Structures are given as structure tokens and as C-alpha cells.
Amino acid sequence: MKFLSTAPIALALALLAAPTAPLFAQEQPSFAEMSAATQTITQAYFDAYIARDWDRLEPLLADAGTFRDVTADPVFGGAGAEGKAAMMTLFREGYAGITRMSLRPLRTFHSGQHSVFEGELDWTLRLDDGREVASVMPFITILRVEDGLVVSHRDFADYAPFIAALRASREATE
């Protein structure tokens, strides 16, 4: 009888010591598989971003996606958006003055849920007065993917070449 009274305790201890995993748990993708899936999504998104093809970019963006370029704050007074609708408005309206944009890639890598695109951005911005300012500047985009969609888009740029081109453009018209 003593065996019956200690058996439930022994069984409970054995269950507590066993690895805990849901009975029907799906195997998580490997790092390589996750990185490859991220590359597929972010490369399509980034290509659409550089091409300013907002209709192609939009379905790759999560509803709760966020965009931020803290390096643009002192130049343009801030560049950020929370949520897919706000991001698409920013891209469609805020980027409307960009008449040309291409990237000469220097380095790209995809690591787990993140992708990093680094290069030289060659772009032209049409100002409100009609002048166009062209510049080439160092540029980095970092994207994060969750559930097959881009949830975070961060840009970092050295705007010094743009500021120099803007000043030269102003001096040429004075």
C-alpha cells in the first residue's frame, strides 16, 4: 500500500524533470532557414523601396509596421511613421519629391529575422521651388521580419553630401 501512495509523487517528479514541449509543437525553423526566408521577403521589399514602387512594397509590410530615419530629423524635421497606413502615406506623399533613387550596394546580409542593406544612395530631390538637388551619400537600411512581413524599417544616412549639394544649388540661384 505504501507503493501506491508514493507512486503519484514519483510520477509528478518524473514529469517535472522531463523536457517541457507541447505534444504537437511544430519544429522551429533553423537559423539558416529563417535567414533565407527573411532574405526573400526583405530583398523584395528593399527593391520596391529603392524603386519607389509602393504598390509592390505595401503587401510585404505588416499592419503594425514602423518606419524611422533618425538621421533625417535635423535635415527634414523628422521622418517616421507608425502603422502600415501611416507608412504608405509617408512613402507615397513624403517621397513624392524624389525623382530618382538608386543604390550601389556595398554590403548586404540576412541574419535570422533581420536584413541589413548598406551602400551609396544616389538620389535626386525636387524642392518646392522646382530646383532639383542630386547627391550620393552613405546609406543603411535595417529591416526586421515577423510572420513573413516587414515589421520594422530603419534608415540611417549621412546627409552631409545632400546638404552640400543643397547649399551649392542655393548659391547658384543667388
Spans of all domains in the chain? 29-173
Residue 98 grid cell:
524624389
CA 45 to chain centre: 9
pLDDT at 114: 99
d(CA 113, CA 149): 10
Residue 12 grid cell:
509528478
Task: Assess whether pLDDT exceeds 60 at residue 3.
Answer: no
Q: Please tell me which residue, 174 or 109, carries the higher pLDDT value.
A: 109
Task: Assess whether pLDDT exceeds 90 at residue 12.
Answer: no
Q: Please tell me which residue, 158 or 2, carries the higher pLDDT value.
A: 158
Average pLDDT, the chain: 90
Average pLDDT for 2-10: 58
pLDDT at 8: 60
Predicted model pTM: 0.83
Q: Please tell me which residue, 89 or 29, carries the higher pLDDT value.
A: 89
Torsion-angle region of residue 130: left (phi > 0), alpha (psi -120 to 50) or beta?
A: left
The CATH T-level fold of domain 29-173 is Nuclear Transport Factor 2; Chain: A, (3.10.450)
3-state secondary structure of 24: coil
Residue 147 grid cell:
510572420
